[in-house]
Structure 1
Amino acid sequence: MRRRQAVNDLGPRLRDHRAPTIEFICGPCHRRCALEHKLLVKAFGAGVSFAAIRRRMAMGCEHMQTPEGDKCGAHFPCLGDTDGRDES
């Protein structure tokens, strides 16, 4: 059974980025790691958005849900100007 994707979960998808490793960085949490593309596809599917992966990777981050909104610095440098966050 396929999962339904949220309507606001638009943006770059894992299938759009073909590098063998994808860097994930969060400055405020001092996190930095390189994720293997094929393992991400196996875990989430090629159609998953980077926003969804970001939410899963940052789960438990105290900066993710603040009264001012999402203040988490987690992002994928490979996306350039965008950080993988939902635009809505």
Structure 2
Amino acid sequence: MSHQPTTRLKDHKVPVIELICRFCDRHCAHERRLLVKAFGASVSFAEIRRRMAMGCERMQTSEGDRCGAHFPCLGNGLTDGN
């Protein structure tokens, strides 16, 4: 069984963290320091994504997570484990 490491907020030191959704045109940006204060530096980007995209009807479908929300700072439109 291979273990894929989870990218955490502490792994990225950019001052602003953006979340973009390619389906619903969602675009938000939060100061990294405020995210650390709210969630802690050890929070995963997957958890931040779930919280920021809360209410997205594509997040919970019969075919799994179809939400297009991702963090550009992770590169290539990755959602970190989703």
Normalised TM-score (structure 1): 0.81
Query: How far apart are residue 29 of structure 1 and its match?
Result: 1.5
- Pick from 1, 16, 19 the counterpart of residue 14 of structure 2: 19
SS in 2 for 1:35: strand
Q: Using the alignment, how far apart are the partners of 2:26 and 2:55 within structure 1?
A: 13
Query: How far apart are residue 84 of structure 1 and its match?
Result: 2.8
Normalised TM-score (structure 2): 0.87
State whether residues 21 and 36 of structure 1, in contact with CA within 8 Å, keep that contact through their aligned partners in structure 2: yes
Aligned residues: 79
Equivalent residue, structure 2, for 1:83: 78
Q: Which runs of 5+ in 2 are unaligned?
A: none
Greater CA drift, 25-34 or 50-59: 25-34
Quote the RMSD (CA, aligned, Å): 1.7
State whether residues 11 and 84 of structure 1, in contact with CA within 8 Å, keep that contact through their aligned partners in structure 2: no
Deviations 1:57-86 (A, max 9, x none): 111100001111100000001001362343
1:47 is the counterpart of 2:42: yes
Q: Which runs of 5+ in 1 are unaligned?
A: 1-7
Q: Using the alignment, how far apart are the partners of 1:85 and 1:29 within structure 2?
A: 19
- Pick from 19, 26, 33 the counterpart of residue 31 of structure 1: 26
Q: Using the alignment, how far apart are the partners of 2:24 and 2:38 within structure 1?
A: 24
Q: Using the alignment, how far apart are the partners of 1:11 and 1:81 within structure 2?
A: 16
SS in 1 for 2:17: strand
